[in-house]
Amino acid sequence: MPTIKNRTIPAAILTLLFLIFQPGAPSAESLDDRVNEVAHELMCPVCQGQSVAESNSNLARDMRQIIRKQLEEGKSKEEVIAYFVNRYGETILASPPPKGVNWLLWLLPGLAIIFGGLGIGIYLYRSQSGKNSGDSGKRAQKTAADSDYMLKIDEELKKRES
Amino acid sequence: MSILNTGTKLGVLVIIFLVLALLGYALFGDRETVKTSPLVGKDAPEFTLKLFDGRRVSLSEMKGKTVLLNFWASWCMPCRQEAPALEQSWLKYKDKNVVFIGVNVWDENTSASTYIEKFGGGYPQGIDPEEEIQVDYGIGGVPETYFIGPSGVITDKYNGPLTEEIIDYYVNRAAGPEKDSPSAN
pLDDT of residue B113: 93
* Euclidean distance between CA atoms B136 and A100, whole angstroms: 27
pLDDT(A1) > 90: no
In this prediction, residues A137-161 reach a mean pLDDT of: 81
Q: Are residues B28 and B53 in the same domain?
A: no
Q: Report if residue B1 sits inside a domain.
A: yes
On whether any CB of chain A is under 8 Å from the CB of B135, the answer is: yes
Amino acid B71: pLDDT: 97
B131 and B84 both lie in a single domain: yes
Are B91 and B171 within one domain? yes
What's B163's domain CATH number?
Answer: 3.40.30.10
Q: How far is B37 from chain A (nearest CA, A)?
A: 7
Chain B closest CA to A135's CA: distance in Å?
A: 20
Let me know if residue B59 belongs to a domain.
yes
Mean pLDDT, residues A26-31 taken together: 72
The whole-number average pLDDT for the span B164-179 is 88
Q: Are residues B113 and B77 in the same domain?
A: yes
Establish if B183 belongs to a structural domain.
no
DSSP structure string for chain B: --SS-HHHHHHHHHHHHHHHHHHHHHHHTTGGG--S-TTTTSBPPP-EEEETTS-EEEGGGGTTSEEEEEEE-TT-HHHHHHHHHHHHHHHHHTTTTEEEEEEE-SS-HHHHHHHHHHH---S-EEE-TTS-HHHHTT--SSSEEEEE-TTSBEEEEEES---HHHHHHHHHHHHS-TTSPP---
Are B24 and B52 members of one domain?
no
Chain-chain contact of A123 with B4 (C-beta, under 8 angstroms): yes
Same domain, B17 and B55: no
Asked if B24 and B80 sit in the same domain, the reply is no
Nearest to A118 among B11, B105, B136 (CB): B11
pLDDT at A15 over 70: no
Q: Which of residues 56-75 of A touch B (CB under 8 A)?
A: 58-59, 62-63, 65-66
Percent of chain A scored above 90 by pLDDT? 40
Q: Is the model more confident about A27 or about B174?
A: B174
A59 and B106: CB-CB below 8 Å?
Answer: yes
Query: What is the pTM assigned to this prediction?
Result: 0.69
- pLDDT attached to residue A8: 64
Q: Name the domain count of chain B.
A: 2
| Residues spanned by the domain of B26 | 1-34
Q: How confident is the model at residue B7 (pLDDT cuts 50, 70, 90)?
A: confident
Domain annotation covers residue B126: yes
B33 pLDDT band (50/70/90 cuts)? very low
| Model pLDDT for residues B60-108, shown as the tens digit of each residue | 999 999 999 999 999 999 999 999 999 999 999 999 999 999 999 999 9
ipTM of the complex: 0.79
Q: Do B135 and A63 touch (CB under 8 A)?
A: yes
Assess A131–B contact: CB distance below 8 Å, yes or no. no
Q: Which residue of B has its CA nearest to A47?
A: B140
